[in-house]
Structure 1
């Protein structure tokens, strides 16, 4: 009996250990990034002369500034290989992009618009663009430290390919009577945001593995690169940086309940 009992207990514990070390997980992820670049060359502005002198903004013309932000949410599946040293991930990701152009101060801002009737100036408070992309990311992270610890550090690289699912560019005219010219101005500017979105990125992260196998992680991204062209019509964005947070759980955590 003892000879039979020992192998049975050993096989039981090995089975439990194999389930607990399952490398397949599902999780959710969120991130926010600040976009950097210049105001797109298609837009020209004029402003009232003032006694103060402003140096040229990093994002564009004198007295005019541009800002952009990306936010995303993703549902991912992960698979750890090579003794949990490497984690592969993919899933579905929604990215929302906001861009704004506005005066640096409260000075009057005029949008320069050449037309068939001659050159026209439209007084505006600013410009806005809102875009949404649905994409599929492919990622891999490599463990740097902590393979046998609950705390781990790692580096990650990835690429995503997606398509635009919604978008709107608008002008905030001082006079609402000018709203009727918005479509004409945007059409004359040409090059509407492209439908194809291709993006490459990398990050360094810190991960905590709880006793039940749930992973909590935070990452600081390296400057990412938008590989596709003409994705944004307000800013000529080439890179971005920010942070992302994620939580994932082993598949077997649900099957054990």
Structure 2
């Protein structure tokens, strides 16, 4: 595999599992030193570090809850202290939410937006302090931001806000030579999808989930997390040096 990230350092929030773990693995395989941010799954984070370092990479695990901007700042600062610099932020910490309008509470709103939106905004703020020309920031949106799905309003809105942040921050960060983009994954084979996948199906349809996927996705399957990570690696690389302020859908042709 090409070493596009040789000599570079990346922070991956939500890096202990799912897409985040796949992103950390891909960046490390291409030569990056990787700090894996995790909230509570210490064992999974340590196991990933052991695997990456066992393959000859450089990696550390650092606990941080992105709901607390101070913890995110500590994560970034400790990464720079350990590896001497920061070149890439890949933001993949997030939470799901489904609920009909009549059940939504202010607490639901605060919980979802605190992690999915505010958490990513302040991750950018802290990372940008340490980046210069060539810095790459990749946030996480979702195909849900641009598609109507029953009972998914809070989650979708939190991700749509991320796309607006990326667009607007691109002008500001461009002055520092930093690009910022977002990835909008479709259905991906993660533990989160296993838990919530059925909720994406229209409540009026009684199709089994696998058959429903074949009617909604051109490639007729969920993505492997490594396939999403490939697109993230592109946005984080010099190959995407003239791409900023954009959200890249990686959804298998979700229609």
TM-score range, shorter chain: under 0.3
Q: Pick the structure with more strand per residue.
A: 1
Q: Quick one: higher RCO (CA 8 Å, sep 6+), 1 or 2?
A: 1
Q: Pick the structure with more helix per residue.
A: 2
Query: Which protein is bigger by CA-based radius of gyration?
Result: 1
Q: What TM-score, normalized to structure 1? A: 0.25
Q: What TM-score, normalized to structure 2? A: 0.25
